[in-house]
Amino acid sequence: MAARYDRAITVFSPDGHLFQVEYAQEAVKKGSTAVGIRGKDIVVLGVEKKSVAKLQEERTVRKICALDDHVCMAFAGLTADARIVINRARVECQSHRLTVEDPVTVEYITRHIATLKQRYTQSNGRRPFGISALIVGFDSDGTPRLYQTDPSGTYHAWKANAIGRSAKTVREFLEKNYTEESIATDNEAIKLAIKALLEVVQSGGKNIELAVIRRNQSLKLLESKEIETLVTEIEKEKEEEAEKKKQKKST
């Protein structure tokens, strides 16, 4: 008779897997890399920018989006799905401001996004969202936060994380290099993010997009010139390190 929704797309397999959710996670692994780092007074998001076609306007291809003045997110996976999630999150940030007369905490908006994603793994006729998100920001009491969500609807807090293509390599790099001194100053935290991305991005600084939020300030996208300067700094430091090692070996 009338078109009713079929049985759910996301059903359990005999050995307890939700295959649709796992396939969605595979889709995420095909997306371009994004990395997030939580410093002391700054939170940094970096994404690998896919090379833009000649005739394409560069500024319409944005993978880092502000959800509110004090929260922003980067994603890896299906861009169209991400657009929907970001829209809903932006509306929720404002609704929260209206009903509670306070800005959202990063945990609250992450929980909202994760609940939204979970709902799509448990209703009929719909497929899960194919994105993982890194949500960063400052709470009203000044604490920096970084959360990651995935297509299954779970979320966790992280000190530093990476999603997308070669996320594993980047995460291993971060595990080795994320120390108290590496995030001591804002600049150091930004450089750490760039270093992490350079591990997996070909052709250097041109393909990196970086954004930072400082306490009590809104999202700031770094210009390509600034990124270039930082990249050259990093390369210089690398050379110096290599020189020192050579000298040690020779002596």
Give the interface with another protein as residue ranges (CB under 8 A).
99-102, 105, 108
E strands, 86-154, are 131-138, 144-149
**Closer residue to another protein (CB): 104 or 231:** 104
Print burial letters for 56-74: b (CB count within 10 Å at least 16), e (below 16).
Answer: eeeeeeebbbbbbebbbbb
CB of 101 to another protein, least distance (A): 4
**Closer residue to another protein (CB): 102 or 237:** 102
Counts of helices then strands in the chain (DSSP H, E): 6, 10
**Closer residue to another protein (CB): 6 or 141:** 141
CB of 54 to another protein, least distance (A): 49
CB of 91 to another protein, least distance (A): 17
CB of 99 to another protein, least distance (A): 5
What does the alpha-carbon distance between residue 85 and residue 56 come to, in Å, rounded to a whole number? Answer: 24
Phi/psi for 182 (5° steps) reads -70, -15
CB of 197 to another protein, least distance (A): 34
What does the alpha-carbon distance between residue 46 and residue 48 come to, in Å, rounded to a whole number? Answer: 7
**Closer residue to another protein (CB): 6 or 101:** 101
**Closer residue to another protein (CB): 108 or 178:** 108
In residues, how long is the chain? Answer: 251
DSSP 194: H
